[in-house]
Amino acid sequence: MANTEQLEELMGLLDGEVQLVDGSGHTVALATEVTEAFQTAVAQMLAGQTHDLTTEEAARLIGVSRPTLIRLLDIGTIPYRRTNGERGHRRISRRAVLDHLRVDLARRRHALDELAADAEAFGFFDE
């Protein structure tokens, strides 16, 4: 069975344009719908992994600094629970982290589309 690290790596790979390569080197580009089906399957497998994440693990999985992750928790962008005890630690479900990651990547890619359009219009790459 795939471990968490393998699944997370696979999730990262599925974020880009995906191609399948057979033993003879023949490549087939995957349609967006097929890639999304793979993403859903991997996300479900990751969600099935039992333990919730520490803030350190969640920050690493999303790819942000820990202060940024804490801020996302504090303002309610990502739900979390606290462990038992007077000063319980924060724990975040893998599903919540992956849901946030998907939305965040879409926003960032839209921003990059706008940056590229402006860079092109202003001739930033021709200078």
Partner 1 sequence: MTTSNRFIGSLLLLDADVLYPIRVCDFILTASSLRLLARPVVSEQIIAEAQRNVLADRPNLAEEQIERRFRSVRVATDGHDQPTGERVDNESIVNAKDRHVLRSAIHHGVDFVVTNDARLRREIATWIDQQSEAGSLRAAISADELAIGLVNESPDEVLAVVHAMNDRFLSPTHSFNETLASLTRSMPSLQALRNLPH
State the residues that interact with partner 1 by CB under 8 A: 8-9, 12, 15-17, 62-68, 71, 105, 107-120, 122, 124-127
Query: Are the C-beta atoms of 14 and 49 separated by less than 8 Å?
Result: no
- Report the nearest approach of partner 1 to the CB of residue 34 (Å): 19
Pick 9 or 81: Cβ nearer partner 1: 9
- Report the nearest approach of partner 1 to the CB of residue 119 (Å): 5
Pick 59 or 96: Cβ nearer partner 1: 59
Evaluate the CA torsion angle 102, 34, 29, 114 in order and state its sign.
negative
Which position has the token pair 């968490």?
Answer: 4
Q: How far is CA 110 from CA 13, 20, 65, 81, 117, in A?
A: 19, 26, 22, 31, 11
Pick 84 or 125: Cβ nearer partner 1: 125
